[in-house]
Structure 1
Amino acid sequence: MRSTRVNNDLHEDARSVKLLWTGGWDSTFRLLQLLLRDRARVIPYYLEDRTRPSTDTEIDTMARIAQRLNEEFPHTRELLQPLRRAAVADIVVDDDIAFALSKIRRRSFIGSQYAWLPAFCRDHTLDGMELGVHVDDKVQALLRGFVVEVDHPAGFRSVRVDPARIGTPEHTLFGAFGFPLFHVDKRGIERESRAAGWDGIMEMTWFCHRPVRGKPCGLCAPCVYTIEEGLARRVPWPRRVLSFFYRRFVLPWKGPLRQLRLVTRGTRERPPPEPDLGA
């Protein structure tokens, strides 16, 4: 698959769909919807986190999926644009974004990617980037009371944070994104994929952050979510057994210990300053 470093000078039009693609289950399903159902022009983005052992696997997965799409569905050669890549290490997170994340984490822990994703979009003036937030996702639960349905210029319905919520931490972190999978879960994605004949491509997707001998580990967050959201078959059974004990005896302690670390750190460090939003 062709790829390029992010370049704001590359031509875009309002009907092009910007998609955060990782080669995973949710974002690949959305890619297939756009290319094969909607016949929409897709600009895929990938943010490289080199602290994650799965990065090269994800990039290779996307290349293989793109090649298969090009071979089986020739029209996708024109619709699927080169993958735009950027390094997480190069992203600077503004104070208001850091503050918004810290406020939300007091209620529900979400990953650090929800700081550098909005920071990346702000830096590159990107609006409407699609994320694969779905039912059973922590972010979906967090945003449930903050979103409205909207029409995309490409001709489909999506979900976004209500502009009336500007000034809230939820809008600061997620206002730049679209959530087209907001009302579907992983099993629903599986059913729709099979009905459309996309299951072969969907089985090519990758999700594990810390693979063991090239197989899903069963212990990282995406593996745990995959198992708990109904797709345990995608994790090899020995790792599923290990995951069972991990989820039963270790994982329940991680949340309280994380909160304790945050509280302890807060007694030693000053919190990020609340941004000056003006009068």
Structure 2
Amino acid sequence: MPSTQHVLLKQLLTAATGPLARRRPGLAAMRLALEVASLGQLMPWNVFLKDADVDGMAAEWIQPAEATPGRVLLYLHGGGYVLGSLNTHRALIGALAQQCGVNALAINYRKAPEYPFPAALDDAQLAYRWLLNQGYAATDIIVAGDSAGGGLALALLLALRANQEPLPAAAVGLSPWTDLVLPTSVLRRVCQEESQVLEALEIRGWGPLYAAAASLAHPLVSPVRAELYGLPPLLIQISDAEVLGDDVLRFVQKARAAGSPVTLQVFEGLVHWWHLFWLFLPEARVALRRVADFTHQVWAAPEAAKAA
């Protein structure tokens, strides 16, 4: 049963995005609205920010005061490949980094339609290789992301595997966008369950903007359509009420069938992007603690094996 806070949040989102859905604002207006909304974020206490230059790409270190040195969370923000920035997700990344007890590197990867596929994926690979060049071992890196950023994190694993590069210790997808084709089941949910929110964000138009000349079914655009063998441990969180849920479940089933270890955590009745509202949403704080539990287990496993 969703919390009272979530009920209020959903009512607020419906009231705020309903008029936008009817007016169908342009992409520039949506970008500006999201940036303005992000001004109200509050960073967790004792989490510090430091600008970073990742071979010419703007990035930011988000550093809890008591972070474990030598390990890092590479975070890829959501926003349908067309929205979002370091600003919009800074507080969420800070809260997650603090829970996990590690520093996080957030990158301002390029967005469509100005920079379509594979620009975002190239930037994710650039950041990952940059971390390796900074002295981090692949086993000391966990890649994470929400929504489109979650899908991008999974695509990053596939690209690294194809290039025979070392894979990170694990990956975390928070409501990841795994299929940009948007099958009929997804469109049905858009119409029935979250139409005002998702139509306001025009999710159905974002996939083609990102894919551009590539097929929406390209495995590095829609990871659910890839061969999913040989991946590191994955944590996937999803709500049973959000429109991306069916596709995520297909991804999990396919990855498990291919032998890749996947931990699936399903939350009841929550809106897409509920993690962003961690400051006042108890379900979001629970989700972040579960991510932290997963990262601790991933990094503890090799140490336990050595001790044995």
TM-score, normalised via structure 1 length:
0.31
TM-score, normalised via structure 2 length:
0.29
Judging by fraction of residues, say which structure has more strand: 2
Query: Who wins on radius of gyration, i.e. which is larger?
Result: 1
